[in-house]
Amino acid sequence: MYTLKQGWMAMIGEMPMENWDGKIHCLETDAALTFRTNETEGFMSAYTFTLVTRGSATIIYNGKEITLYPDDLYIYSPGLSVRVVSISQDYRGICLLADEHTTLDAPGVHDLVHIAYQPIVQLQEPKLTLPHDTAEHLAARMREIMGYLQSDHIYKREIIRMLYAVFLLDFQNAQQKAISHRAIPQRVEDIFIGFIRLLPLHFAQHHDIGFYATKLNITTIYLSRVVKQVSGRTVVDYINQLLVMEASFLLRTTTLSVAQIADRLHFADTPSFSKFFSRLKGVSPRAYRR
């Protein structure tokens, strides 16, 4: 998948500012800029929080159609496909993007579990409709990050990371007030976060639940139960989603043959890879590349 910096270059073609480290960015966005996100099809290892301030947008998120309106906050989690299908000409929003590893290392990382995954479990869609004053408060947080991104403060990177952690906590507070909140034990959160950390490092080579369970010193049954409890998805779903997204990314951006991609992703042979890809994408690897 694209890193945040690679994804930004694929969409925009130039860095947002000089000496950007590619960890966190925040910007005001409109219809034309939002449509440019289709250049990456969601193949980006970054978390994205988009607050709609005007107009509307319809997206296909992990196969489901979702329409966003003012005061809706849309949360993108790495590993899920997303595509913008329609958007009003007056659409405006504020978009906060954060590199996956930067996010997982943030002080508020446990709150991110609730922010990024519980809405999907409880609302069946990755958005939360906020009270207008709450939306305005989060917008102010996001604009504060924008201000520091443009500043020459010698500690701006540290401040931006701190402000991002505050944003996560503020949103967690808003979420608890907006939906019925199911408490998740600390141990369960730790296991889930450990799995999410391991996955991008090993998914290409290890397709089996046992590998991740062994790394976390738990049984496969317990890992499966934890992941399902927190996210509503299965371990296999997470692994397969990353495999198909990486395969799609390689087919789109490289000249590697289908056989070479199958080998890189550690499939037994080319036919088994082609069958896997066709089942998840609905087309063969060669047809997808065309």
> pTM for the whole thing?
0.68
Asked whether this chain's domains 4-178 and 186-289 adopt the same fold, the reply is no
Confidence band (pLDDT; 50, 70, 90) for 174? confident
- In angstroms, the CA 220 to CA 156 distance is 43
In this predicted structure, what is the pLDDT of residue 107? 57
Note the pLDDT of residue 124: 42
Q: Where are the domains of the chain?
A: 4-178, 186-289
* Confidence class for position 64, pLDDT limits 50, 70, 90: confident
pLDDT at 94: 97
Q: Mean pLDDT, the chain, as a whole number?
A: 85
| 3-class state of residue 154 by DSSP | coil
Q: How many CB atoms lie within 10 A of CB 101?
A: 15
- What is the fold, at CATH topology level, of the domain defined by 4-178? Jelly Rolls (2.60.120)
Count of H-run helices and E-run strands, the chain: 13, 8
Model pLDDT for residues 197-247, shown as the tens digit of each residue: 888 889 999 999 999 999 999 999 999 999 888 777 889 988 998 898 889
According to DSSP, residue 150 is labeled T
**CATH of the structural domain 186-289, one choice from 1.10.10.60, 3.40.50.10860, 1.10.1200.10, 3.40.50.150:** 1.10.10.60
Question: Long-range CB contacts (< 8 A, 24+ apart) of 145-150?
Answer: 145/24, 145/26, 145/96, 146/26, 146/27, 146/28, 149/16, 149/17, 149/24, 149/25, 149/26, 150/17
Residue 122 has pLDDT above 50, yes or no: no
Q: Contact 119/67 with Cβ under 8 angstroms? A: no
What are 22-61's pLDDT values in tens digits? 899 999 999 999 988 888 766 677 888 999 999 999 998 8
The C-alpha atoms of residue 200 and residue 152 are separated, in whole angstroms, by 33
Kindly tell me the sign of the dihedral angle through the C-alpha atoms of 86, 47, 33, 134.
Answer: positive
Closest CA relative to residue 15, chosen from 168, 173, 149: 149
Which DSSP helix (H) or strand (E) runs through 215?
helix 209-215
In the chain, what percentage of residues exceed pLDDT 90?
A: 46
